[in-house]
Amino acid sequence: MNEAYVKLTTTNGIGTIEFFHPAHNSLPGDILAKLANTITEAGKNDEIKVIVLKSGGDRTFCAGASFNELINIDDAETGKVFFSGFANVINAMRKCPKFIIGRVQGKTVGGGVGVASATDYCMATKYAAIKLSELNVGIGPFVVGPAVQRKLGLSGMSQIAIDANTFYDAEWAKEKGIYAQVYDSTEALDEAVQEFAENLCKYNPEAMKEMKTMFWRGTEDWDTLLAERAEVSGRLVLSEFTKETLKRFK
């Protein structure tokens, strides 16, 4: 697998959205756009009762923003557009009328933590440590912050946002509320995700839709909020500090 992709497959009411990028499932702008659009499409598809969101490969779930794209941002508007890609994915997940089950097989960083946090029910392996690394490169988890804070609370989110060098293990993420269940292997995770999704397909779709609306109450301002946060990140990525740091990471 060398080509990045986003694909949707539907089987017996379960819509599985899988994204992949050869650079540890990082998310460049085109993949973010496809992911947001695919989530929206799945939400409108009457054949789909529940959505499973996963990434390709058997290691990293998501490495967050594409460093190559970050390095090449040279004006604030381009920066805002790039970070708006993460905002659009999170908002698509928030507005989707169907439950989204997260399947996290490995480590997840930065924007990937935001994606995992925006799922409605997230299941992971014991290898699925999380890290908010943005401060480490001179930015900050501004766009994904609301989604992460919604799951971890302000205390948990600020802890991993400030401690930007540290991976927090899957059990910590479970205790804090991002993961609902943690499994010893990818095989066990996949069996559990499949069984859970099949059970959800037996429930009343209207009841699940109303429940999702209830769970996301209070986030109605996120279209505006996340756009503002994208603007902040887009400005910070232009700083000399961030430019030099990204070059070293590359």
Can you name the residues that pair with 182 across neighbouring β-strands? 124
Q: Are 148 and 141 in contact (CB under 8 A)?
A: yes
Q: Say yes or no to pLDDT of 250 above 80.
A: no
Asked whether the predicted pLDDT for residue 218 surpasses 90, the reply is yes
Superfamily of domain 5-189: 2-enoyl-CoA Hydratase; Chain A, domain 1 (3.90.226.10)
**How much is the CA Rg of the chain, to the nearest whole Å?**
17
Residue ranges per domain, the chain? 5-189
pTM for this predicted structure? 0.96
> What SS3 class is residue 61?
coil
The confidence score (pLDDT) of residue 1 equals 61
Whether the per-residue pLDDT at 142 is higher than 90: the answer is yes
Residue 126 — φ and ψ, nearest 5°? -70, -10
Cα–Cα distances in Å, from 71 out to 230, 246, 247? 16, 6, 7
Residues in the chain: 250
Query: 3-state DSSP call for residue 102?
Result: strand
